[in-house]
Each structure stands twice: as C-alpha cells, then as structure tokens.
Amino acid sequence: MNIEILEKSLTKEPKFRLTQIKKALFQELIDNWDDAKTLPKSLREELKKSCPLEINAKILNDSIGTRKALITLSDNTKIEAVLLSHIDNRNTICVSSQVGCPMKCSFCATGSMGFIRNLNKYEIIEQVLFFARLLKEKNQKVTNIVYMGMGEPFLNYENVIESIKILNDNNAFNIGARKISISTCGVIEGIKKLSNENMQINLAISLHAPNNILRDKLMPINKKHRIEDILKAVDNYIEKTNRRVMFEYTMIKDTNDSLKNAQELSLLMAKKLYMLNIIKYNETGVFKSSSDKRIKDFMQILHDNTVKLTLRHSFGSDIDAACGQLATK
Ligand code: SF4
C-alpha cells in the first residue's frame, strides 16, 4: 500500500473528494475501493490501479493482549508495530517512526539494526490502519497511539506531526490528542518544537539512567544532550503547556538498578508535573532484567522521596514487543 500516491492522483478532483476518501479509508476502514460508495465509479477504478489498498503485513506473534505485526513497505523495507489490548477495551498501537534507529542505545534491539530511513506520514498511518482493520472485525477501535516503536520520533519530526494530524482529524481516525504520546530519548530540538505546536499530545522521555556517566554508557545521545539540558527543555515545555511529562526508566540488572541510583533518580524526579514510569526490562540478550525484589525496593525509595510513579510490566515481553525493542530480525 502506498497512500502517498493518493494525494497526487487527486490533483484534478474537487477538494471534498479528499474528505470523502479519508472517511472511507480511515473511518469505514475499507480495504477495497469498490466499497467507497461515495466516489464515482470512474475514480474508484482509477484508484484501484494507482493506489491498491492491501497492506503487506503479517502477524509475527500473538500473545494475550498483544500482537506484533511485520509490515513490508513499498521499497521492501520492513517495520514492526504492536497492538496492546487492555482489559478496559482500550487498544493502543505502538508505532514505528523510522526503519531502524540511529541512536544505538546499548540495551535496545532496534538500535542494533542501525538506521535505514525515515517513514513518511502515511507509512506511520499504515501501521494504525492495519490494526484498525483487524479490530473492526471484533467491533473494536484503536483508542490510543504511542510513538514508541522503531526509531526516534523527533528525528523524523515533520512526518510524525503530520501523521498525528491525520490520527486526530475528525474526518479520519478522530483519536483525541490526549490519547497520543510521543516518546523521545531526549532530542532537545524536538522537545522545544513540540512545546510550540499547541497540540494536547503527551510527551515521554526515555531516561533510563540517573546520572550522565551511566547514561553515556547506555545511550550515546547523552554525549550530545546531557540530562540537565533535557530536564531544562522539559521544564520549559511544562511552563508553556502546563502538561505532565512522563519519564521512562527501564530496570536493567546490575546496571541502573542500585539503591544509590534510586536516590539519585529521586533528586531528579521530585517535581510537580514529572511522572516516572518504571519498566521491567524486556531481555534481548546482553542485559538482564532486575529482579522483582530489586524493583520493589527501588520503587520504595522513590516513593519515600515523594516521586509520583507507576510500574509498567513490559507489555508483550514474551513476544519482544516492549518499548524500543522492536527489530526486524
Ligand atoms: S531505545 Fe529508542 S532511541 Fe534508543 S536505539 Fe532504541 S529505538 Fe532508538
């Protein structure tokens, strides 16, 4: 599928056609142009040739509440996306923003793939569309989106923002901005730009270390964007938007999970609109996950220091589908 061609095919059509097409594609979730009844037959025939609607994807793994899909794009590159189904009927799609990732975080499977290219806005949307069609069969809908799959979203800023506009558009997916989250490893220019967008989306920072020495080892971007500079950009973002910011901290055994690390983290995180999300590490080979006992003790220290925090069991850890751990093997 290559929806990008679509806009080019419509240059001679009246403007309302695009609205009709968006409704057919993203609300009715048609997978065959014959079903786009609001369009003239001649246009449907043309679109069948120029813009086929099949998505080249297969489900790689299926576990309770979690499905991972491998999508092959028109240039044969491959990306992964994940559907996380929650018991309260929420369905979150974790989307990729790049093929691979240039950031090389040492604990991340995607990082070890290297970087291939940015996704265009429709390739990001295609991931949501694939799962939206699957959910339709069960009378369910996509309710939440997290930009937490392959890639660093702020290195593909324009396409990510344009894709969010389609997700948010009430003629398209109509997903509320507050249900959409972008997770960055700390690209300061991206945080600054986002604070000027006037969008109600959520910002998350992948922190994973409480000091620069350790973060330098885990996340090479830290050599460019130091923790104190990231936090300064976050504070400016909060001042402008008055929105809460989530920090993600994955617990890696004997690496970032000492009780001293918990004390250091407490000093960074004890701020009014900071929220900490502790994540159980999804083991990918080199590193191991902290024990449950260590996670409990670590969290207790944070709690005693009045840090607002939650524990997230790494969704889909049984299918390699946790945060930043997608990779086309
Ligand atoms: S954790 Fe995120 S930013 Fe780091 S290498 Fe993986 S995908 Fe890229």
Mapped onto helix, strand or coil, the DSSP state of residue 173 is coil
For the annotated catalytic residues, the residue numbers are 80, 323
Residue 113 has pLDDT above 70, yes or no: yes
From 80, 96, 97, 103, give the residue whose CB has the most ligand 1 atoms within 8 Å, as the site to mutate: 103
200 alpha carbon – ligand 1 mean position (Å): 24
8 A C-beta contact, residue 106 and residue 217: yes
Residue 316 has pLDDT above 60, yes or no: no
The confidence score (pLDDT) of residue 174 equals: 96
Structural domain spans, the chain: 1-54, 55-319
Rounded mean pLDDT, 317-323: 44
Confidence of residue 319 (pLDDT cuts 50, 70, 90): very low
325 alpha carbon – ligand 1 mean position (Å): 8
Gap between the Cα atoms of 325 and 315, Å rounded: 11
The confidence score (pLDDT) of residue 66 equals: 87
| pTM given for the model | 0.92
Place of tokens 């402008």: 240
Mean pLDDT of the chain: 91
Domain 1-54, architecture per CATH: Orthogonal Bundle (1.10)
Residue 295 structure tokens: 């996670």
Which ligand 1 atom is at minimum distance from the Cα of 184? 3
8 A C-beta contact, residue 278 and residue 251: yes
Considering the four listed CATH numbers 3.20.20.70, 1.10.10.10, 3.30.420.40, 3.90.380.10, the one that applies to the domain covering 55-319 is 3.20.20.70
Confidence of residue 306 (pLDDT cuts 50, 70, 90): very high
Residue with CA nearest ligand 1 atom 4 = 105
Residue 263 structure tokens: 């004390």
Q: Which residues have a Cβ under 8 Å from the Cβ of 225 and sit 6 or more positions away?
A: 186, 187, 188
Confidence of residue 219 (pLDDT cuts 50, 70, 90): very high
Which ligand 1 atom is at minimum distance from the Cα of 109? 6
Residue 1 has pLDDT above 50, yes or no: yes
Gap between the Cα atoms of 294 and 31, Å rounded: 48
Q: Which residues have a Cβ under 8 Å from the Cβ of 293 and sit 6 or more positions away?
A: none
Rounded mean pLDDT, 82-109: 92
Which residues, judged by CB distance below 6 Å to any ligand atom, belong to the binding site of ligand 1? Answer: 101, 103-105, 108, 110-111, 150-152, 185, 206, 324
